[in-house]
């Protein structure tokens, strides 16, 4: 199970996609969720809310998900550089995946995604960071 005090940051400019991400987080036991519509707003929200995981879109106005990831990984006061980051994107292919991992994301996932696949991705990256314990299959 995920620790009950886990806070997730959703960085996505599409309302319907944010709702699907919420469902996946809730299915993983995460109920404290903060939202931002772009990377710049996400940085401020992550600082203010001490998020334990971020799920980001790649393409957004103001600041995209890759730039936000790069800034987090380069060090921003008040944000853990090791914050687990899942990048959700409609930009597929090996070069896009390589660019995402090069920027520092922990998990690259293409849209469309299923709630189940995102749920599994959340458990994977949180488990890797030591925040979750083994979760029985559902």
**pLDDT tens-place string over residues 28-81:** 889 899 999 999 999 999 999 989 999 999 999 999 999 999 999 999 888 999
Q: Count other C-beta atoms under 10 Å from residue 116's C-beta.
A: 11
pTM of the full predicted structure?
Answer: 0.87
SS3 56: strand
Q: Name the maximum alpha-carbon separation found in the chain.
A: 40
SS3 3: coil
Q: What sign for the dihedral angle of Cα 27, 113, 60, 71?
A: positive
Query: pLDDT tens across 72-106, in order?
Result: 999 988 899 999 999 999 988 899 999 999 999 99
The residues spanned by each domain of the chain are: 7-113
Determine whether domain 7-113 maps to CATH 3.40.50.720. no
Query: Running DSSP on this structure, what letter comes out for residue 2?
Result: B
């Amino acid at each position: 199970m995920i620790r009950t005090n886990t806070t997730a940051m959703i960085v996505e400019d599409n309302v319907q996609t944010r709702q699907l991400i919420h469902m996946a987080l809730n299915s993983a036991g995460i109920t404290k969720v903060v939202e931002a519509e772009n990377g710049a707003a996400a940085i401020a929200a992550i600082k203010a809310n001490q998020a334990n995981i971020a799920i980001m879109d790649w393409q957004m106005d103001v600041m995209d998900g890759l730039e936000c990831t790069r800034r987090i990984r380069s060090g921003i006061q008040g944000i853990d550089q090791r914050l687990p980051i899942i990048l959700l994107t409609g930009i597929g292919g090996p070069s896009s995946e390589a660019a995402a991992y090069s920027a520092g994301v922990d998990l690259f996932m293409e849209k469309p995604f299923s709630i189940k696949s995102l749920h599994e991705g959340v458990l994977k990256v949180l488990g890797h960071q030591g925040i979750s314990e083994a979760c029985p299959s559902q």
